[in-house]
Chains A and B, each alone.
Chain A
Amino acid sequence: EPEVTQTPSHQVTQMGQEVILRCVPISNHLYFYWYRQILGQKVEFLVSFYNNEISEKSEIFDDQFSVERPDGSNFTLKIRSTKLEDSAMYFCAGPKDRYTDTQYFGPGTRLTVL
């Protein structure tokens, strides 16, 4: 069964550095989502991406964050200048196929900011 893939699985960076997290969703559905989960806490919505544009973003998704779909398949989340509090698991999610809206989550990228 096709899966959402994310790279890297673990990223360690210094505070103030830029990081790019990558995702390849299952299908060519138009909606994709990014969520984050700080260790031991609940999953929080970051941003939704529809038809190559941001459709909704949370208060967490400030000017330091951006999303792109650079080549029609990959889907990236960029953090321009990382802070210690950005340390978390970052998940991308998307529908499995055009017939269902259930969001299937990728394996996640663990971001550690030192």
Chain B
Amino acid sequence: ELKVEQNPLFLSMQEGKNYTIYCNYSTTSDRLYWYRQDPGKSLESLFVLLSNGAVKQEGRLMASLDTKARLSTLHITAAVHDLSATYFCAVDKLETSGSRLTFGEGTQLTVNP
């Protein structure tokens, strides 16, 4: 059974600081996703990481993937209040029947002024 673990689950940080969210998964997967969810809202796709060593950046967020360690990180640089949200990582395995996503527990990020 594929399991996905994130840490920390709760993160409170000051504006301007840097921090990293970690995502570990238990078995080989094909793709690693990061989603953002605002309270009461849907999931917004941030990144899709496909291969070992992949790094993607968008604004103050940077995601990386180490398939050998089964680890992905989401690094936040110089946090701002607008980044406050819950961040989920998810993995899938491509099958002939599609690609169901298995999600982590989510990291609730609060950026304080």
Q: What residues make up the interface of A, taking CB atoms closer than 8 Å to B?
A: 31, 33, 35, 41-45, 48, 50, 55-56, 58, 91, 93, 101-108
Q: How far is the CB of A35 from chain B (nearest CB, A)?
A: 7
Interface size for chain B: under 10, 10 to 19, 20 to 34, or 35 or more residues? 20 to 34
Q: Are B33 and A31 in contact (CB under 8 A)?
A: no
Which residue on chain A has the smallest CB distance to residue B31?
A101
Q: Known contacts being A104-B45, A107-B42, is A42 close to B97, with CB within 8 Å?
A: no
Q: How far is the CB of A57 from chain B (nearest CB, A)?
A: 9
What 9 A-B pairs have minimum CB-CB distances, sorted nearest first? A55-B97, A48-B98, A105-B43, A43-B103, A31-B98, A45-B100, A56-B97, A42-B103, A105-B42
- 8 Å CB interface, B61-99 against A: 88, 90, 94-95, 97-99
Q: Known contacts being A42-B106, A43-B90, is A48 close to B43, with CB within 8 Å?
A: no
Q: Are A44 and B103 in contact (CB under 8 A)?
A: yes
Give CA–CA (A56, B45) in the complex, Å: 23
12 A-B interface contacts by CB (under 8 A): A41-B105, A42-B105, A42-B106, A43-B90, A43-B101, A44-B103, A45-B100, A45-B101, A56-B100, A102-B33, A105-B44, A105-B45
Q: How far is the CB of A105 from chain B (nearest CB, A)?
A: 4
